[in-house]
Structure 1
Amino acid sequence: MPTEPRSAADGAPRRVLLDPAGPVLVEGPVEAVLPDGSTVVSDRFMVALCTCRRSRRFPFCDTSHRRKVRSGAAREDSPDGPPDA
């Protein structure tokens, strides 16, 4: 028997942290509904949901996004950034 999401039951909103360079962080516990209609549950206090779809544990992030360098990702203040002119 499906249950209502915890935030709906206790009235407290869930905090969601958006990071353009990484996963979406959601205060747990979390129940995620996948495109095929199946659900996965995590009871952790903070859950990282994959947005790049590279994770082998999708919908949960396994930090696979760190392996691919995005174009324009090098920053001037980074040790690996562009050389000084």
Structure 2
Amino acid sequence: MPTAPEGRPSPEPCRVTVTKEGPLLLDGPVEVTLDDGTVVRSERFTVALCTCRRSRAYPWCDTSHRRRTKR
């Protein structure tokens, strides 16, 4: 296990998966600091972070990025 500069063991890195047309997927739990300083937390195993800012649950993805198809 790698060590931090202080000689303590470093925590495992967070895995982030970049998707082609969707959210960033992170191994949870995660804390996100928003631009206004608010900190939000998710305890989920995998967390989807919105990158398009269309989500009503921002910063969490609610699949608003998906294109709607006409029938």
* TM-score normalised by structure 2 residue count: 0.79
* C-alpha RMSD of the superposition: 1.8
Larger radius of gyration: 1
Q: Which has the higher strand share?
A: 2
Quick one: higher RCO (CA 8 Å, sep 6+), 1 or 2? Answer: 2
Q: For the structure 1 residues 33 and 68, does the alpha-carbon distance in structure 2 shift closer, same or farther, using more than 3 Å as the test?
A: farther
Structure 1 runs (4+) deviating above 4 angstroms are: none
For 1:58, give the aligned amino acid: Y
Q: How many positions carry a matched residue from both structures?
A: 61
**1:4-47 CA deviation, whole Å, 9 max, x = no partner?**
xxxxx861111100012000000000000000000100000000
CA positional deviation for 1:68: 5.0
TM-score, structure 1 normalization: 0.66
Superposition map of 1:13-52 within 5 A = 13-52=13-52
SS in 2 for 1:67: coil
Unmatched 5+ stretches in structure 2: 1-8
Equivalent in the alignment of 1:60: 60
